[in-house]
Structure 1
Amino acid sequence: MTPTPDTPREWLTHLYRTAVERAQPARQLAAHLPPPPRGRTVVVGAGKAAGAMAHALEAAWPAQAPLSGCVVTRYGHTPPRPPGVPPRIDVLEAAHPVPDAAGVHAAQRLLASVQGLGPDDLVIALISGGGSALLGLPVPGLDLPGLQAITRALLASGASIHEMNVVRKHLSRIQGGRLALAAAPAPVWTLAISDVPGDDPAVIASGPTVADASTDADALAVLDRYGIALPPAVRADLAAGRHETPKPDHPRWAMCTVRLIATPHAALQAAAAEVERLGLRAYVLGDALEGESREVARVHAGLARYALQGRGPLRPPCVILSGGETTVTVRAPAQAPGQRPRGGRAAEFALGLALALDGAPGVWALAADTDGIDGTEDNAGAFVTPDTLARARALGLSARDHLDRHDSYGFFAALDDLLVTGPTHTNVNDFRALWLR
């Protein structure tokens, strides 16, 4: 039974699941496949949706046509194989968001699998968000611990996904188009699920099979902007332009095709259509909102308050929807021994929203990551209700203190207001819904 607007938490969850379902590879991938080539078809891929994309490809590819290869996804993100579909693509798992040795091994396997192909063969690349961390193959002069340290510093810096991936492309032996170069002269057909503002294929998973317009100098500028240290030899290489990626004018790209099979915009539109089907107004603020989670939350709260006063273009009852990728700059005070910041950008948005709304009546909200995992915890996101702060005070919790310590997970766990879905096997970035009654 479809939840109704009389059950806010269930209904917001229903809208989230509607958006996620629109981005499922099993629904979207088959329509974008090329015909089988005269030679072999080798599949490579990386991202949180890579396992589901591989299974969808196996189900749709002609049984008599050769098919092999391997993809890598995050630990625990491999879905059950569809019944009756024989396995032809290996699904590996590695760490996210900080790369590990399994990711190095996976990147090496992907590169090895495309060696020795000819013009009659075909490479199908299955690319989705999270692939940057899952293909951790550092350039010469940079070892895995060094790459891990740089990654952790970037994640805590507040850098945007575009900035982080500029760095990753120039510190990697497989990203920034290098995987496509390794597959020459075989054509490459890339199927991508976008998790980035603007849907630029060069940013999704750091673009292992597409042209890269950024430079070593751009990567060095990002690292310097956020004060992130580099080994001296790697800094010298970047300064000298020794890790440049293949640019858009490279002849290789004449044999490469890119198709976006799912996007944040399409997912939000699916949720908006469901809102309107149930007789309410839906307002989509955009699918590419960026900025600090708590500041983006403050803007959403201001719009909601303005609308509830009967002012502005938004007319309650309605649902405000938005997507994109916010950031969290970790500036937490000293933690107790063994403690660390807990909570991703979705839950931090929710906590910032609760504080900015300050108990305003008539607003229920959900902020969640469409991959089902908010940061490094086990929740997809969190709910906000008109009595969030009142219930917290009754438990002796300070919302402001939890926000200052970036402990949004602990705050909403105590209120039993976490959304826990497990991996969704897709990834079209953040989903935010504010229901104004």
Structure 2
Amino acid sequence: MIQIQPRELLLKMAQAAIDAAAPAQCVPENLPAPPLGRTVVIGAGKAAAAMARAVEDHWPWPLSGLVVTRYGHGADCKRIEVIEAAHPVPDEAGQKAAQRILDSVQGLTADDLVLCLISGGGSALLALPAPGLTLADKQQVNRALLRSGASISEMNCVRKHLSAIKGGQLAVACAPARVVTLLISDVPGDDPSVIASGPTIADPTSFADALAIVEKYRIVEPRAVVEHLRRGLNETPKPGDKRLRGNEVRVIATAKGSLEAASRVASEHGVLPIVLGDSIEGEARDVAQVQSVLARLAHEAQPGQKPCVLVSGGETTVTVRGNGRGGRNAEYLLALTCALRGQADTHAIAIDTDGIDGSEDNAGCITAPDTLARAEALGMSADACLTGNDAYSFFDKLEDLVVTGPTRTNVNDFRAILVL
């Protein structure tokens, strides 16, 4: 038996996953050499303010800049201005910040350096509509995409083609200055062009791709968005664009690194870590069903193969049909709880490493073999809560929410199923 309580071990693993992606840990060693000219820092994302603070702490040369982050995710910076805005649905503060960021890189020279700090959440925070579109248009389509079950890659493809700044357009505005982009990845596969919709990265997708996505999910409003995609004017810069030549991209934190850190914690406590993957996508309920089968197989394993913990990352999605509360991690964990039906000696945790599961105040939730029995004693039906997309209420009443507050980083979901 392990010499630590299952709940304590799972929480310790989750914290290790978060800590491995902390900007203070991964930014300093990835800073470029100072330029001959100016250094301008720009950025967007849930980790942007903490990344800016890490730059300030390790950059003794002159700099100026502006970054935008989610409300509540700010940091105390002295030389780089930090603006907070809405996520996941953009607001006017994000629109104004995006315009100011775009303005701040005008008129630079080849001797100047633009240090761009990008992390997950930047798509909603850099809310600068393309000509002919309004913020209200972007808000409406954003809400529709969030409810549709579209993957992050699909959502960001659409966002790029509704924007005046995403999909490499910000890098074009920086030219001829050299752009070095530091990325904390929150997307499966760590594709730089997808992270925060790649504002400084060449875009391999097209207007036709974006139109196919809105048609796939039957999004027909607002009409201005659909017509904008059909016209397909002013395509984003593509790989090989000479205006982006000489720029550099460094992915400095990933889900894989966080899973490795969590796995080391498990090993230190005598638990065998089994990594299922760092880029798992799909409906949260479907992922839970598959992983519940793996958990049952692990439970039936021969002596010597337990205790073990099944670890995974990536980003699931939720097609919302009910009126309840809960993010994708709570939905996943409730579906897992229903599927396991109180399987003995099996505990699990699921969190978003940014500290916010969807739009709620929790990072995620935790479950145990007695979760269903405790819920029934309180008069709750796990199956009914799952049907109503009400996982937050379920775990809240059981006092099994995991609340970390904003972590100021983001490498997406962390899931662990501990089988003793």
What is the TM-score of this pair, normalised by structure 1?
A: 0.94
Change (3 A) 1:291 1:234: closer
Contact 1:178 1:208 in 2 (8 A): yes
Aligned partners of 2:230, 2:13: CA distance in 1, in Å? Answer: 48
The secondary structure found in structure 2 opposite 1:124 is strand
Counterpart of 2:23 in structure 1: which amino acid?
Answer: P
Q: Partner residue of 1:90?
A: 81
Aligned partners of 1:128, 1:314: CA distance in 2, in Å? Answer: 40
The secondary structure found in structure 1 opposite 2:37 is coil
1:288 aligns with one of 276, 279, 282: 279
Counterpart of 1:75 in structure 2: which amino acid?
Answer: Y
The secondary structure found in structure 2 opposite 1:36 is coil
Q: Partner residue of 1:118?
A: 109
Structure 1: 5+ residue runs without aligned partners? 333-339
Contact 1:24 1:426 in 2 (8 A): yes
- How many Å apart are 1:11 and its aligned residue? 1.5
Determine if the alignment matches structure 1 residue 349 to structure 2 residue 332: yes
- How many Å apart are 1:238 and its aligned residue? 2.2
Change (3 A) 1:52 1:314: farther
The secondary structure found in structure 2 opposite 1:291 is strand
The secondary structure found in structure 1 opposite 2:94 is helix
Determine if the alignment matches structure 1 residue 435 to structure 2 residue 412: no
Q: Partner residue of 1:155?
A: 146
- How many Å apart are 1:279 and its aligned residue? 1.9
Determine if the alignment matches structure 1 residue 108 to structure 2 residue 99: yes
Counterpart of 1:285 in structure 2: which amino acid?
Answer: L
CA displacement, residues 138-197 of structure 1 (integer Å, 9 cap, x when unaligned): 112211111111000000000000000000000000000000000111000000000000
Q: Partner residue of 1:384?
A: 367
1:250 aligns with one of 223, 226, 241: 241
CA displacement, residues 248-274 of structure 1 (integer Å, 9 cap, x when unaligned): 021022121000110000000011111
Contact 2:367 2:400 in 1 (8 A): yes
Q: How does 1:16-415 map to 2 (within 5 A)?
A: 16-62=14-60, 65-79=61-75, 81=76, 87-310=78-301, 315-332=305-322, 340-415=323-398
Contact 1:126 1:192 in 2 (8 A): yes
Contact 1:379 1:422 in 2 (8 A): yes
Counterpart of 2:279 in structure 1: which amino acid?
Answer: A
The secondary structure found in structure 1 opposite 2:115 is strand
The secondary structure found in structure 2 opposite 1:322 is strand
Structure 2: 5+ residue runs without aligned partners? none
Contact 1:45 1:70 in 2 (8 A): yes
How well do the aligned residues superpose, as a CA RMSD in angstroms?
1.4
Aligned partners of 1:258, 1:136: CA distance in 2, in Å? Answer: 22
Counterpart of 1:16 in structure 2: which amino acid?
Answer: A
Question: Greater CA deviation, 115-124 or 135-144?
Answer: 135-144
- How many Å apart are 1:278 and its aligned residue? 1.8
The secondary structure found in structure 1 opposite 2:73 is coil
- How many Å apart are 1:231 and its aligned residue? 4.2
- How many Å apart are 1:241 and its aligned residue? 2.1
Counterpart of 2:229 in structure 1: which amino acid?
Answer: L
Aligned partners of 1:314, 1:45: CA distance in 2, in Å? Answer: 48
Change (3 A) 1:344 1:314: farther
The secondary structure found in structure 1 opposite 2:312 is strand
Contact 1:216 1:243 in 2 (8 A): no
- How many Å apart are 1:314 and its aligned residue? 9.8
The secondary structure found in structure 1 opposite 2:293 is helix
Aligned partners of 2:105, 2:409: CA distance in 1, in Å? Answer: 25
Contact 2:180 2:247 in 1 (8 A): yes
Aligned partners of 1:401, 1:159: CA distance in 2, in Å? Answer: 24
Aligned partners of 1:420, 1:24: CA distance in 2, in Å? Answer: 17
- How many Å apart are 1:243 and its aligned residue? 3.9
Aligned partners of 2:364, 2:304: CA distance in 1, in Å? Answer: 25
Aligned partners of 2:342, 2:355: CA distance in 1, in Å? Answer: 27
- How many Å apart are 1:199 and its aligned residue? 0.1
What is the TM-score of this pair, normalised by structure 2?
A: 0.98
Determine if the alignment matches structure 1 residue 6 to structure 2 residue 11: no
Aligned partners of 2:78, 2:63: CA distance in 1, in Å? Answer: 10
Aligned partners of 2:301, 2:234: CA distance in 1, in Å? Answer: 56
Equivalent pairs: percent with the same residue? 59
Q: Partner residue of 1:337?
A: none
